[in-house]
Amino acid sequence: MKLSMPRYDQAPVLVVGDVMLDRYWHGGTSRISPEAPVPVVKVEQIEDRPGGAANVALNIAALGAPALLVGVTGRDEAAHSLADSLHAAGVQAHFQRIDEQPTIVKLRVMSRHQQLLRMDFEEPFNTDAEALAEDVDGLLAGVKVLVLSDYGKGALKNHQALIQLARARGIPVLADPKGKDFSIYRGASLITPNLSEFEAIVGHCQDEAELVAKGARLMNELELGALLVTRGEHGMTLLRPDHPALHLPARAREVFDVTGAGDTVISTLAASIAAGEELPQAVALANLAAGIVVGKLGTAAISAPELRRAVQREEGSERGVVSVEQLLLALEDARAHGEKIVFTNGCFDILHAGHVTYLEQARAQGDRLVLAVNDDASVTRLKGPGRPINAVDRRMAVLAGLGAVDWVVSFAEDTPENLLRQVKPDVLVKGGDYGIDQVVGAEIVRAYGGEVRVLGLVENSSTTAIVEKIRSK
């Protein structure tokens, strides 16, 4: 399955559900309390993070997608902290504030990256379901996906009304379910239970075949568009009517904390679908995102650059020989990390010391070097019959092995001008006795503010000379 980074900036998502504040008290421990056999934590740092549905919205915003949130809070300090954090992250939050009820807070006491204690401050909310539905209805016109983030805390009391509002507008509805009655999600486009939640509804599954069969019956019974069962270390299973099951393995390199992993899954799914991705690709992206978040401590959001790098690893475009599409994805990530892009091009038919020295000099002009190589037909047009000596795939493989080169890409035209318009490097480099104005593509690069630099040649190093020497012998 081929993955690419979606245009999340054009993918507005509305999240409705149970918002909460995840509060962390961090401190060191050096002694046991004389009052009870428990460690004494000297609190040195207090950290607040949006949790529940608020974490889903935060994850959507972190991917670069417009995120809207409707939820229920009290009128207290925790609600203000939530609102401030979400506003700072660019989330458009609409809270139904209820007097004399506390905002849900989950307090975790942490020491040396270990959770020692969790305390929950919560009461089920007496939500005004009609007012909440009116808020949702007023926001649906500007979004492409609706997410129901259900933690069973009382914010969602009218699931069917919200689903029908979205369906009437042709907007997909994704639900992260809770409880033992999934009929409240009837008609949803997709629900995302974890394995224990799924088995609480359908019964224990001995193997994948039984999971698939029971999942198919559940989809039919609830008129679901799709069902995604998240299975921890066993990955994910996507079920769709009239499609074979799609089993994806877990992508985590190291599991540190599973807190909020479900939020990451549904937020990445929602943003990807809103950006126009097909469901299998959206699920694969969500699987990658989940593999990142479980390596973090506590409730955390996955940024677009983090996901982009995971996609690059998946597609093999971190460095080496790449397609144009892979290159543009890799460059987007490099620029997000403030890296300076250098571009050079050539035939590089027989690699020699002059090439190696030149490429090292080119790489020194910035942080990343893109090397564009003429394909075989264009080399023949430029160099004449009998050239190239080495086919383009072999030339690219050798060049990709050089430490100075980050990405190698081929082009079919006689000049790399079309590629330059797509890559838009910070620096265009060429070797030889050229004036800057003689470098092909110089006008293109200088027009958007890039630099053009000419480097010297290593004497007595030439592919043509090597070829003539071989022929003469």
pTM of the predicted model, to two decimals?
Answer: 0.71
Phi-psi region of 362 (alpha: psi -120 to 50; beta: other; left: phi over 0): alpha
61-65, 92-96, 165-169, 469-473: the lowest-pLDDT one: 469-473
Give per-residue pLDDT as tens, 176-230: 999 989 999 999 999 999 999 999 999 999 999 999 999 999 999 999 999 999 9
Type of residue numbered 384: G
Confidence of residue 256 (pLDDT cuts 50, 70, 90): very low
Contacts of 281 (CB under 8 A, 6+ apart): 1, 2, 3, 272
pLDDT at res. 257: 44
Known binding residue 314? Answer is no
**pLDDT grade for 298, boundaries at 50, 70 and 90:** low
CA angle 369, 321, 315 (to 5 degrees): 110
pLDDT digits (tens, 9 = 90+) for 355-379: 898 999 999 999 999 999 999 999 9
CB 453 within 8 A of CB 427: yes
What's the pLDDT at 325?
84
- Closest by CA to 166, choosing from 138, 194, 192, 193, is 138
For residues 200 and 197, give the distance between their C-alpha atoms in angstroms, rounded to a whole number. 5
User: Would you say 460 is a known binding-site residue?
Assistant: no
β-strands 236-239, 227-230 pairing: antiparallel
Q: Is 455 annotated as a binding residue?
A: no
Which residues on adjacent β-strands are paired with residue 26? Answer: 45, 110
Clarify whether 176 is annotated catalytic. no
Pairing mode of beta strands 39-52, 19-32: antiparallel
Catalytic residue among 263, 375, 376, 406: 263
Neighbouring CB atoms inside 10 A of 132's CB total 22
211 is annotated as contributing to ligand binding: no
pLDDT higher for 31 or 433? 31
* Phi, psi at 464, each rounded to 5°: -60, -40
Helix runs in 224-323, H state only: 261-274, 279-293, 304-315
The helix/strand/coil state of 397 is: helix
Amino acid letter, residue 32: I
* Structural contact between residues 392 and 349, judged by C-beta atoms closer than 8 angstroms: no
The alpha carbon of residue 399 and the mean position of all alpha carbons in its chain are separated, in whole angstroms, by 30
Enumerate the β-bridge partners of residue 430. 454
Q: Which domains, ranges and CATH numbers included, belong to the chain?
A: 13-303 (3.40.1190.20), 320-472 (3.40.50.620)
Residue 433 reports pLDDT greater than 70: no
